[in-house]
Amino acid sequence: MSEALVTFDNVVHVYGTAEQQVTALRGVDLTVNEGEMVALLGPSGAGKSTLMWLCAGLLQPTAGQVEVCGRRLTRLRQSAATDMRLRDVGVVLQNPSRNLLPYETAKGNVLFAQRPTRRTAKMKSKRAHDLLDAVGLAHVSSHPARRLSGGEQQRLAVAVALANGPRLLLADEPTSQLDTKSAASVIDLIKAANEDLGTTVIAVTHDPEVGAALGRTVTIRDGRVGSEGHHGADYLVVGRDGAIHLPQELLDTVLPPGSLAEAILTETGVELRRVDVDGGSRAES
């Protein structure tokens, strides 16, 4: 049994002030084991980026516990969180330019990321060259990051995040601005880090191909883990309060919101049956 590298225990996150509050996460339980690759899916506003920020130690949860790479992130000092990102966790934020030093060259960005390593200047330079080559940016390696296109910055951000062979890669929509070919090269690079170095990967995506490439999918809905997929099969996740998110097609057809149902234990499992109560008599369907 492999070890848990990331654990979310009933995590709640509320943004804002006393007057205006937005609850982004409302009780997330999630475990990602060392060496796993997970795609985070879910509609816009579901809380995916918030989950990534908490995981990177860039935000503190309002309630609950987050543990990453053996560190309890709740109340972790800023400097300790920065140290974790430098050594163990590669982060690609959703806005590509936020991941880069804008006035530094593409190669300079990958060199700068390697400063905590003990590699020689020659080794750092080779690593930068290899990574830029892998994401198709060798020809712009001497261009300042701010002059690169959005898609180029996104690829550079992935190269920077992988520069030190992190234990954990957190990538928030790393292929959203890429064409199919560039997206494939980024996914290949991420998979290679997982296979060669055992890097654990959590990637937010709207791209079904990325989801399929990573194997395990976790869908966030309304600030909770709604469902999980493993190698193509989808499963509901039972929350700690017993709540389950039904698939949208059932909500649209058999069990619209507000309908009454009973859960019946059968020999093979549990059956959810809609009940219509009409003037005291009941009909099942």
Ligand X SMILES: Nc1ncnc2c1ncn2[C@@H]1O[C@H](COP(=O)(O)OP(=O)(O)OP(=O)(O)O)[C@@H](O)[C@H]1O
CB of 173 to ligand X, least distance (A): 7
Interface of this chain with ligand X, residues 27 to 46, rule: CB under 6 A: 42, 44-46
Supply the DSSP string of 258-279, one letter for each residue: T-EEEEEE-SSSEEEEEEEEET
CA angle 129, 132, 134 (to 5 degrees): 105
CB of 245 to ligand X, least distance (A): 15
Q: Tokens standing for 21?
A: 């509050």
Interface of this chain with Mg ion, residues 60 to 99, rule: CB under 5 A: 94
Query: E strands of the chain, at which residues?
Result: 4-16, 21-33, 37-41, 63-68, 71-72, 89-92, 168-172, 200-204, 216-221, 224-230, 233-236, 260-265, 270-278, 281-284
CB of 281 to ligand X, least distance (A): 43
CB of 142 to ligand X, least distance (A): 32
Question: Does 213 participate in binding ligand X (rule CB under 6 A)?
Answer: no
Select 51 or 145, whichever has its Cβ closest to ligand X. 51
Any idea of the CA torsion for 46, 49, 55, 56, to the nearest 10 degrees? -170
Neighbours of 167 (CB within 10 A): 20
Q: Which residue is nearest to Mg ion (CB)?
A: 49
Question: Does 175 participate in binding Mg ion (rule CB under 5 A)?
Answer: no
Contacts of 253 (CB under 8 A, 6+ apart): none
Neighbours of 110 (CB within 10 A): 26
Largest pairwise CA distance in the chain: 81
The option from Mg ion, ligand X, none interacting with 16 (CB < 5 to 8 A, set by class) reads: ligand X
The option from ligand X, Mg ion, none interacting with 96 (CB < 5 to 8 A, set by class) reads: none
Question: Does 49 participate in binding Mg ion (rule CB under 5 A)?
Answer: yes
Interface of this chain with ligand X, residues 89 to 128, rule: CB under 6 A: 94
Q: Tokens standing for 223?
A: 């600030």
Select 49 or 217, whichever has its Cβ closest to Mg ion. 49
Do β-strands 168-172 and 200-204 pair in parallel, antiparallel, or remain unpaired?
parallel
Binding mask 44-83 for ligand X (x = CB under 6 A): xxxxxxx---------------------------------
Chain residues binding ligand X by CB under 6 A are 15-16, 22, 24, 42, 44-50, 94
Chain residues binding Mg ion by CB under 5 A are 48-49, 94
